[in-house]
Amino acid sequence: MRRLAPMLLAALAVMAGACEKKTQPTPSGEAGTQAAQGQSGSTVSGTPAAGSDTILLGQVGALTGGQATFGISTRNGIELALKEANAAGGVNGKKLAIRVYDNQSKPEEAAQAATRLITQDKVVLILGDVASSNSLAMAEKAQAAGVPMITPSSTNTTVTQKGDFIFRVCFIDPFQGFVMAKFAREDLKLGKVAVLQDNKSAYSIDLSDVFTRKFTEMGGKVATTESYSQGDTDYRAQLTAIKKTQPDGIYVPGYYSEVGVIARQAREVGLKVPLMGGDGWDSEKLFELGGSAISGSYFSNHYSPDNPDPRVQKFIADYKAAYGGVPDALAALGYDAARVAVEALKRAKDLSGPAVRDAIAQTKDFPGVAGTVTLDDNRNAVKSAVVLKVGDGKTQYVTTISP
């Protein structure tokens, strides 16, 4: 044992070191080839990355790890928007290029990647990420360096509170919590619900806080609040505790990677009530992971592909042609964020941080595919949300709830 103890210590130290070590954010997949080639000259538009005739943007996204589909969808949306912008002549004669770094779904990697974009690649603007925890870490760096950042889909309130360089093109968490509370109380007429939140995610805690407050204000009762940690796969203990309170519904504002499994295990312990959640559910994977157990549940979201608006339908058709599959909300928001950025770059008097920031701040009534974007004084987009019902392998539009 005496030999084991130091060995154990060494092992744990190495493990800890390895887990926390600041790896160079390695671009991966398709984006990786672009980023790698970027150094030798090729980019999205096929024009040189370095040079006065290109404007280099940066994206930090979860391309691997638990939220991988989020980062990939967002990247596709952004790529599509930039391709279109370049085809239409770029910004004042300059082509747009983007460098994408993976954050492995981890905030510390996101901060590292943002720093790399700012100091090494000297991008004019950063797009990303989806999960609020990652965006918060990036916002810190972007604000300090005076580089404007637009998050397509981070809904946590505090993200844009990091400073005047941080913007978003989506609504904020309090609103999603409010939407579901209102929907549960007025449309589903639920009296007593339980909440199951992801304690590792700022997003989940925020949604569940607002939901609890609003639902109680509207005369409902929150029977119990249980928690899990991202990456868990066994939720039976929490669900067994929830079952004891006999709720009419369960609010699970988590991410698809866990929600699908939660739904299965909820049915297994005998909870038959509907589950409700937020935009973190939005992924094709939800149907695979949740199977039939997730059918009949509801979640709030930014957009619905059923929207007949020709602009939305054109986006869907273009996206399908480029990547196959119907774009999810994150792709739509990535697309909107990139287009808001491009419009702002066109209006900006030069490409310095403050000039671009001022141009973004003036965004008003911008026709995005996921709703009309007007940025308020807190740099948040004011727009309505949709509620979707999960069916067999697809979602179905239920209603729109306005602020």
Partner 1 sequence: MAQLLQHLINGLAAGTIYALVALGYTMVYGVLKLINFAHGDVMMVGVYMGYATAFAIGREARGSFLGIAAVFAVAMLGCALFGFLIERFAYRPLREKPRLTALITAIGISFALSYGFQLDIGFLPGASPRAFPEIIEPKEWLIIGDRDVVVWNWQVISFLIAVGLMVALQYLVFGTRFGRAMRAVSWDHRVAALMGIPTDRVIALTFMLSSGLAAGAGLLYAIKDTSVSPLMGLYVGLKAFVAAVIGGIGHVPGAVVGALVLGLVEEFVVGYAASTWRDAVAFGFLILVLLVKPGGLFGRVAAEKV
Residues forming contacts to partner 1 in the complex (CB under 8 A) are 1-5, 7-8, 10-11, 14-15, 18, 28-29, 63-66, 68-69, 199, 226-229, 231-234, 236-238, 240-241, 244, 257, 260-261, 264-265, 268-270, 285, 288-289, 291
The one-letter code for the residue type at 173 is D
Cβ–Cβ < 8 Å for 281, 328: no
Nearer to partner 1, 2 or 189 (CB): 2
Least distance CB 152 / partner 1 (angstroms): 19
Cβ–Cβ < 8 Å for 319, 331: yes
Least distance CB 335 / partner 1 (angstroms): 21
Least distance CB 398 / partner 1 (angstroms): 25
Give CA separation, 37 vs 27, 33, 42, 109, in Å. 11, 6, 5, 22
Burial of 365 (0-12, 13-18, 19+ CB in 10 A): exposed
**Cα–Cα distance for residue pair 385/307, rounded to 1 Å:** 13
Nearer to partner 1, 10 or 218 (CB): 10
Cβ–Cβ < 8 Å for 148, 127: no
Least distance CB 258 / partner 1 (angstroms): 8
Nearer to partner 1, 11 or 218 (CB): 11
- Residue 59, H or E segment: strand 54-61
- Residue 401, H or E segment: strand 395-401
Residue 59 has a CB neighbour count (10 Å cut-off) of 30
Least distance CB 310 / partner 1 (angstroms): 32
Nearer to partner 1, 9 or 218 (CB): 9
Which of 253, 278, 207, 263 lies closest to 233 in space, CA to CA?
Answer: 263
Give CA separation, 337 vs 149, 151, 372, 374, in Å. 10, 7, 12, 12
Least distance CB 153 / partner 1 (angstroms): 18
Tokens of 373: 């974007």
Measured between alpha carbons, how far apart are the two ends of the chain, in Å?
63
Nearer to partner 1, 158 or 227 (CB): 227
| 3-state class (DSSP) for residue 151 | strand
Least distance CB 22 / partner 1 (angstroms): 15
Cβ–Cβ < 8 Å for 162, 139: yes
Nearer to partner 1, 213 or 285 (CB): 285
Nearer to partner 1, 14 or 322 (CB): 14
Nearer to partner 1, 98 or 205 (CB): 205
Nearer to partner 1, 35 or 373 (CB): 35
Tokens of 181: 């509370």
Nearer to partner 1, 133 or 363 (CB): 133
Cβ–Cβ < 8 Å for 193, 185: no
Least distance CB 236 / partner 1 (angstroms): 5
Least distance CB 253 / partner 1 (angstroms): 15
Give CA separation, 133 vs 115, 206, 289, in Å. 16, 12, 24
Nearer to partner 1, 157 or 227 (CB): 227
DSSP 228-278: E-TT----HHHHHHHHHT--SEEE--S-HHHHHHHHHHHHHTT--SPEEE-
Pairing label, strands 249-251, 275-277: parallel
Least distance CB 170 / partner 1 (angstroms): 22
Least distance CB 90 / partner 1 (angstroms): 31
